[in-house]
Amino acid sequence: MSDNFSRVIVADFEYEVRGGELPSVLCMVAYELNENLQHVRTIRKWRGEFDKTPPFDIGDDTLFVAYSAWAEMTCFDVLGWQHPVHIFDQHTAYLAATNVLLPRDDTQKRPKKDLASACRAYGLEGWERIDKGSMAADIGNGLWQNYGSAAVFEYCEEDVRMSTALLRAQLHRHGDMPAADVSRVLHWSNYSAKVVARIQATGMPIDMRLWNLVQENKSRCCTRITTTARSELWL
């Protein structure tokens, strides 16, 4: 990675959001790292402090990193910012690493794919003093005043701190999980981050009559597809 980028930005946004609406950005924390992934500076912005452009470089010499980066790109869109040239979506990288593993037994619970679960998969622990699930829900529902801005910043920065640790881990093999294929993750992130953000913002037309028909016959369709696939394996 150091051969391609002189700086890395690891960022997280917190925002309020009502059903069916775009997020109302509350705050952002970003770590700027150098080419060796060493911390250079921390950037914190609260609502009302955002300018018309990001407070960090987003050009060809910079890699922007986030977990489920479509959420960050949606915030970029709301703030009127251009998307970074290069994005490393850590969620995409985690899926790529774990989807190559042997399938789990049907009796086993499907592992979660959120940031905390990804960190645990790499042996990283965080959020010791934070009830992450409750706080995330309260911030999204506009109840962040119950915590105060300092606590929200602390929560946001913990996500960035853990994302930074996860990035360093993802660049190396860990157990059965291979090191991230950076060039492929960058390519995939153009969709998983940038395109999904635009879809989230503009919506997607759905043929509801056909959708309802599929839902009513979903079980039969899945059975038919599975049976057909198995038959073709023996051809």
Query: Tens digit of pLDDT for each residue in 193-209?
Result: 999 998 887 777 788 88
- What is the chain's percent helix, strand, coil content, to nearest 5? 45, 15, 40
**Mean pLDDT to the nearest integer, 65-79:** 96
The whole-number pLDDT of residue 131 equals: 75
Q: Which amino acid is at 205?
A: P
Nearest to 163 by CA among 130, 134, 122: 122
The whole-number pLDDT of residue 225 equals: 65
* Domain range annotation of the chain: 7-204, 209-235
The whole-number pLDDT of residue 191 equals: 92
Neighbours of 62 (CB within 10 A): 18
Q: In terms of pLDDT, which residue wins out, 132 or 72?
A: 72
- Percentage of the residues of the chain whose pLDDT score is greater than 70: 89
Residue 228 has pLDDT above 70, yes or no: no
Q: Which amino acid is at 49?
A: E
Residue 215 has pLDDT above 70, yes or no: yes
63 burial level (CB within 10 Å; 0-12, 13-18, 19+):
buried
Reported in sequence order, the residue ranges of 139-205 that DSSP labels E, i.e. its strands, are none
Residue 156 has pLDDT above 60, yes or no: yes
**Mean pLDDT to the nearest integer, 208-234:** 74
Class of domain 7-204: alpha beta
Nearest to 172 by CA among 158, 163, 182, 162: 182
Distance CA 26, CA 23 (A): 9
